[in-house]
Amino acid sequence: MGTSVPSRNSLFAAMLVLVLTASSCGWIDDLSARNELNQGVTAYTSKKYDEAIEHFQESIEKDPDLVRSYLYLAIAYRAQYIPQGTSPENMDRARNAITTFEKVIEKATDPVDQTTAMANLAGLYSGMGDYDMAKEWYRKRLVLEPDNPVPMYGIATIDWQLAYDETGMTGESVEFLSEERRAEINQFVDEGIASLKEALEIDPEYVDAMQYLNLLYREKAKLTMEEEEKRTWEREADQLALRSLELKREQQDAEAEARRRLLAGEEE
Protein backbone atom coordinates (compact mmCIF):
# COMPACT_ATOMS: atom_id res chain seq x y z
CA MET A 1 0.00 0.00 0.00
CA GLY A 2 1.28 3.46 -0.81
CA THR A 3 1.73 6.18 1.74
CA SER A 4 -1.38 8.37 1.93
CA VAL A 5 -1.02 12.07 1.17
CA PRO A 6 -2.81 14.47 3.54
CA SER A 7 -5.65 16.30 1.86
CA ARG A 8 -5.60 20.08 1.42
CA ASN A 9 -8.44 20.35 3.93
CA SER A 10 -6.58 18.37 6.60
CA LEU A 11 -3.45 20.52 6.14
CA PHE A 12 -5.53 23.70 6.46
CA ALA A 13 -7.19 22.36 9.59
CA ALA A 14 -3.79 21.57 11.14
CA MET A 15 -2.48 25.05 10.34
CA LEU A 16 -5.63 26.62 11.76
CA VAL A 17 -5.14 24.73 15.01
CA LEU A 18 -1.55 26.06 15.24
CA VAL A 19 -2.66 29.65 14.56
CA LEU A 20 -5.49 29.47 17.08
CA THR A 21 -3.19 27.93 19.68
CA ALA A 22 -0.59 30.68 19.19
CA SER A 23 -3.28 33.37 19.32
CA SER A 24 -4.75 31.83 22.44
CA CYS A 25 -1.33 31.80 24.16
CA GLY A 26 -0.80 35.44 23.25
CA TRP A 27 -4.24 36.36 24.56
CA ILE A 28 -3.62 34.47 27.79
CA ASP A 29 -0.24 36.19 28.26
CA ASP A 30 -1.84 39.58 27.65
CA LEU A 31 -4.59 38.83 30.17
CA SER A 32 -2.04 37.52 32.67
CA ALA A 33 0.13 40.62 32.21
CA ARG A 34 -2.79 42.91 32.95
CA ASN A 35 -3.71 40.82 35.97
CA GLU A 36 -0.16 41.23 37.30
CA LEU A 37 -0.41 44.96 36.62
CA ASN A 38 -3.66 45.22 38.58
CA GLN A 39 -2.19 43.25 41.49
CA GLY A 40 0.82 45.56 41.45
CA VAL A 41 -1.41 48.63 41.62
CA THR A 42 -3.27 47.13 44.58
CA ALA A 43 0.02 46.44 46.38
CA TYR A 44 1.32 49.91 45.57
CA THR A 45 -1.85 51.52 46.92
CA SER A 46 -1.24 49.60 50.17
CA LYS A 47 2.36 50.90 50.17
CA LYS A 48 3.73 47.38 49.70
CA TYR A 49 6.32 48.62 47.25
CA ASP A 50 8.52 45.51 47.03
CA GLU A 51 5.48 43.37 46.27
CA ALA A 52 4.24 45.91 43.74
CA ILE A 53 7.60 45.93 41.98
CA GLU A 54 7.53 42.13 41.66
CA HIS A 55 4.08 42.23 40.06
CA PHE A 56 5.05 45.01 37.64
CA GLN A 57 8.20 43.15 36.64
CA GLU A 58 6.18 39.97 36.06
CA SER A 59 3.71 41.96 33.98
CA ILE A 60 6.56 43.21 31.78
CA GLU A 61 7.89 39.67 31.43
CA LYS A 62 4.51 38.53 30.13
CA ASP A 63 3.95 41.57 27.89
CA PRO A 64 7.07 43.67 27.16
CA ASP A 65 4.94 46.20 25.25
CA LEU A 66 2.58 47.07 28.11
CA VAL A 67 3.80 50.63 28.70
CA ARG A 68 1.70 51.20 31.80
CA SER A 69 3.61 48.42 33.59
CA TYR A 70 6.90 50.25 32.99
CA LEU A 71 5.35 53.49 34.21
CA TYR A 72 4.03 52.00 37.45
CA LEU A 73 7.28 50.11 38.00
CA ALA A 74 9.22 53.37 37.72
CA ILE A 75 6.80 55.11 40.07
CA ALA A 76 7.21 52.29 42.61
CA TYR A 77 10.99 52.60 42.43
CA ARG A 78 10.70 56.35 42.97
CA ALA A 79 8.38 55.85 45.95
CA GLN A 80 11.20 53.98 47.70
CA TYR A 81 13.80 56.65 46.92
CA ILE A 82 14.68 59.09 49.70
CA PRO A 83 15.63 62.53 48.28
CA GLN A 84 19.18 63.61 49.12
CA GLY A 85 19.95 60.14 50.52
CA THR A 86 23.33 58.85 49.32
CA SER A 87 23.38 55.24 50.51
CA PRO A 88 24.15 52.66 47.77
CA GLU A 89 20.69 51.11 48.15
CA ASN A 90 19.01 54.48 47.81
CA MET A 91 21.04 55.42 44.75
CA ASP A 92 20.16 52.05 43.16
CA ARG A 93 16.48 52.88 43.59
CA ALA A 94 17.02 56.24 41.91
CA ARG A 95 18.92 54.68 39.01
CA ASN A 96 16.28 51.99 38.58
CA ALA A 97 13.56 54.62 38.51
CA ILE A 98 15.46 56.78 36.03
CA THR A 99 16.17 53.88 33.66
CA THR A 100 12.56 52.73 33.76
CA PHE A 101 11.10 56.21 33.23
CA GLU A 102 13.39 56.56 30.20
CA LYS A 103 11.96 53.28 28.86
CA VAL A 104 8.47 54.72 29.24
CA ILE A 105 9.44 57.71 27.11
CA GLU A 106 11.01 55.40 24.54
CA LYS A 107 8.02 53.03 24.31
CA ALA A 108 5.04 55.30 24.93
CA THR A 109 2.87 56.67 22.15
CA ASP A 110 0.59 58.55 24.54
CA PRO A 111 2.00 62.04 25.28
CA VAL A 112 0.48 61.88 28.77
CA ASP A 113 2.65 58.88 29.64
CA GLN A 114 5.70 60.65 28.21
CA THR A 115 5.14 63.90 30.09
CA THR A 116 4.39 61.99 33.32
CA ALA A 117 7.75 60.24 32.97
CA MET A 118 9.50 63.55 32.24
CA ALA A 119 7.95 65.20 35.28
CA ASN A 120 9.13 62.33 37.48
CA LEU A 121 12.64 62.45 35.98
CA ALA A 122 12.86 66.17 36.73
CA GLY A 123 11.74 65.50 40.30
CA LEU A 124 14.19 62.65 40.75
CA TYR A 125 17.19 64.60 39.51
CA SER A 126 16.18 67.56 41.66
CA GLY A 127 16.01 65.29 44.70
CA MET A 128 19.47 63.97 43.82
CA GLY A 129 20.84 67.51 43.65
CA ASP A 130 21.53 67.26 39.91
CA TYR A 131 19.79 70.53 39.05
CA ASP A 132 21.14 70.77 35.51
CA MET A 133 19.54 67.46 34.56
CA ALA A 134 16.35 68.38 36.40
CA LYS A 135 16.01 71.59 34.38
CA GLU A 136 16.84 69.68 31.20
CA TRP A 137 13.88 67.39 31.75
CA TYR A 138 11.60 70.33 32.52
CA ARG A 139 12.68 71.84 29.18
CA LYS A 140 12.02 68.56 27.35
CA ARG A 141 8.57 68.51 28.87
CA LEU A 142 7.98 72.04 27.60
CA VAL A 143 8.64 70.83 24.06
CA LEU A 144 5.58 68.57 24.39
CA GLU A 145 3.59 71.00 26.54
CA PRO A 146 4.62 74.53 25.55
CA ASP A 147 1.55 76.06 27.21
CA ASN A 148 1.93 74.24 30.52
CA PRO A 149 3.18 76.66 33.22
CA VAL A 150 4.20 73.86 35.63
CA PRO A 151 7.60 73.04 34.03
CA MET A 152 8.36 76.78 33.94
CA TYR A 153 7.61 76.93 37.65
CA GLY A 154 9.86 73.89 38.20
CA ILE A 155 12.80 75.57 36.49
CA ALA A 156 12.27 78.72 38.54
CA THR A 157 12.15 76.91 41.89
CA ILE A 158 15.51 75.33 41.11
CA ASP A 159 16.95 78.70 40.14
CA TRP A 160 15.72 80.19 43.42
CA GLN A 161 17.24 77.32 45.42
CA LEU A 162 20.60 77.71 43.68
CA ALA A 163 20.61 81.44 44.45
CA TYR A 164 19.32 81.19 48.01
CA ASP A 165 21.90 78.56 48.95
CA GLU A 166 24.65 81.03 48.06
CA THR A 167 23.22 84.35 49.21
CA GLY A 168 21.90 83.23 52.61
CA MET A 169 18.64 84.01 54.38
CA THR A 170 19.18 87.78 54.54
CA GLY A 171 21.93 88.09 51.95
CA GLU A 172 24.67 87.77 54.55
CA SER A 173 26.83 85.65 52.25
CA VAL A 174 26.77 87.96 49.23
CA GLU A 175 29.78 90.00 50.34
CA PHE A 176 31.91 86.85 50.28
CA LEU A 177 31.01 85.99 46.67
CA SER A 178 33.39 86.83 43.86
CA GLU A 179 32.13 89.19 41.19
CA GLU A 180 32.12 86.32 38.70
CA ARG A 181 30.08 84.07 40.98
CA ARG A 182 27.64 86.86 41.75
CA ALA A 183 27.09 87.29 38.02
CA GLU A 184 26.44 83.56 37.62
CA ILE A 185 23.87 83.61 40.42
CA ASN A 186 22.22 86.63 38.84
CA GLN A 187 21.83 84.58 35.66
CA PHE A 188 19.98 81.87 37.61
CA VAL A 189 17.72 84.50 39.15
CA ASP A 190 17.02 86.17 35.80
CA GLU A 191 16.18 82.80 34.23
CA GLY A 192 13.80 82.03 37.09
CA ILE A 193 12.10 85.42 36.83
CA ALA A 194 11.64 85.05 33.06
CA SER A 195 10.20 81.54 33.52
CA LEU A 196 7.70 82.66 36.14
CA LYS A 197 6.59 85.70 34.16
CA GLU A 198 5.88 83.40 31.23
CA ALA A 199 4.03 80.99 33.53
CA LEU A 200 1.89 83.84 34.87
CA GLU A 201 1.07 84.99 31.35
CA ILE A 202 -0.38 81.53 30.75
CA ASP A 203 -2.10 81.35 34.15
CA PRO A 204 -2.41 84.75 35.89
CA GLU A 205 -3.87 83.04 38.99
CA TYR A 206 -0.95 80.63 39.49
CA VAL A 207 -0.39 81.48 43.16
CA ASP A 208 2.70 79.32 43.67
CA ALA A 209 4.39 80.98 40.68
CA MET A 210 3.54 84.39 42.10
CA GLN A 211 5.01 83.47 45.48
CA TYR A 212 8.27 82.27 43.95
CA LEU A 213 8.49 85.36 41.77
CA ASN A 214 8.34 87.33 45.02
CA LEU A 215 11.22 85.23 46.38
CA LEU A 216 13.31 85.71 43.25
CA TYR A 217 12.79 89.48 43.41
CA ARG A 218 14.20 89.32 46.94
CA GLU A 219 17.23 87.50 45.56
CA LYS A 220 17.70 90.36 43.10
CA ALA A 221 17.56 92.76 46.03
CA LYS A 222 20.25 90.78 47.87
CA LEU A 223 22.57 90.72 44.88
CA THR A 224 22.50 94.40 43.95
CA MET A 225 24.91 96.86 45.50
CA GLU A 226 22.75 99.89 44.69
CA GLU A 227 20.47 100.89 47.58
CA GLU A 228 17.76 102.42 45.38
CA GLU A 229 17.64 99.35 43.16
CA LYS A 230 17.55 97.14 46.25
CA ARG A 231 14.50 99.05 47.58
CA THR A 232 12.78 98.80 44.19
CA TRP A 233 13.13 95.01 44.10
CA GLU A 234 11.95 94.74 47.71
CA ARG A 235 8.86 96.89 46.98
CA GLU A 236 7.95 94.72 44.00
CA ALA A 237 8.48 91.59 46.09
CA ASP A 238 6.22 92.95 48.86
CA GLN A 239 3.47 93.76 46.35
CA LEU A 240 3.64 90.27 44.89
CA ALA A 241 3.56 88.68 48.33
CA LEU A 242 0.40 90.62 49.23
CA ARG A 243 -1.24 89.85 45.89
CA SER A 244 -0.47 86.12 46.21
CA LEU A 245 -1.99 86.05 49.71
CA GLU A 246 -5.13 87.83 48.48
CA LEU A 247 -5.45 85.49 45.51
CA LYS A 248 -4.93 82.43 47.69
CA ARG A 249 -7.67 83.62 50.03
CA GLU A 250 -10.02 84.24 47.09
CA GLN A 251 -9.37 80.74 45.73
CA GLN A 252 -9.95 79.14 49.15
CA ASP A 253 -13.22 81.07 49.54
CA ALA A 254 -14.34 79.97 46.07
CA GLU A 255 -13.51 76.32 46.87
CA ALA A 256 -15.41 76.55 50.17
CA GLU A 257 -18.43 78.04 48.38
CA ALA A 258 -18.32 75.32 45.72
CA ARG A 259 -18.28 72.63 48.45
CA ARG A 260 -21.19 74.32 50.25
CA ARG A 261 -23.27 74.46 47.05
CA LEU A 262 -22.47 70.83 46.28
CA LEU A 263 -23.54 69.67 49.75
CA ALA A 264 -26.67 71.79 49.52
CA GLY A 265 -27.48 70.36 46.08
CA GLU A 266 -27.49 73.78 44.49
CA GLU A 267 -26.77 74.20 40.78
CA GLU A 268 -24.00 76.42 39.48
Q: What average pLDDT is seen over the chain?
A: 90
Q: Are residues 155 and 255 in the same domain?
A: yes
Q: 157-209, pLDDT tens digit by residue?
A: 999 999 999 999 999 999 999 999 999 999 999 999 999 999 999 999 999 99
Q: Are residues 151 and 254 in the same domain?
A: yes
Q: Are residues 232 and 155 in the same domain?
A: yes
On whether residue 16 sits in a domain, the answer given is no
Q: 206-252, pLDDT tens digit by residue?
A: 999 999 999 999 999 999 999 999 999 999 999 999 999 999 999 99
Q: 1-25, pLDDT tens digit by residue?
A: 444 444 555 544 444 444 334 444 4
Predicted TM-score (pTM) of this structure:
0.83
Q: Are residues 62 and 121 in the same domain?
A: yes
- Looking at this protein, which amino acid is placed at residue 209? A
How far is 116 from 119, CA to CA, in rounded Å? 5
Q: 39-63, pLDDT tens digit by residue?
A: 999 999 999 999 999 999 999 999 9
Measured from the Cβ of residue 103, the count of other Cβ atoms closer than 10 Å reads 18
Total structural domains within the chain: 2
Domain end position, chosen among 82, 106, 133: 133
How far is 217 from 156, CA to CA, in rounded Å? 12
Do 56 and 36 contact (CB within 8 A), yes or no?
yes
Asked whether the predicted pLDDT for residue 26 surpasses 80, the reply is no
On whether residue 78 sits in a domain, the answer given is yes
Query: How buried is 41 (Cβ within 10 angstroms: 0-12 exposed, 13-18 middle, 19+ buried)?
Result: middle
What percentage of the chain has pLDDT greater than the value 90? 83
Q: Are residues 190 and 246 in the same domain?
A: yes
Region 73-90 average pLDDT: 96
Domain end position, chosen among 91, 111, 133: 133
C-alpha torsion sign, points 144, 209, 166, 228? positive
On whether residue 173 sits in a domain, the answer given is yes
Contacts of 188 (CB under 8 A, 6+ apart): 159, 162, 163
Region 94-101 average pLDDT: 98
Residue 149: its pLDDT value, please? Answer: 98
Residue 63: its pLDDT value, please? Answer: 94
Q: Domain span at residue 174? A: 147-263
Q: Are residues 42 and 97 in the same domain?
A: yes
What percentage of the chain has pLDDT greater than the value 70? 88
Measured from the Cβ of residue 2, the count of other Cβ atoms closer than 10 Å reads 4
Domain end position, chosen among 103, 133, 163: 133
Q: What is the CATH number of the domain that holds 53?
A: 1.25.40.10
- Looking at this protein, which amino acid is placed at residue 241? A
- Looking at this protein, which amino acid is placed at residue 176? F
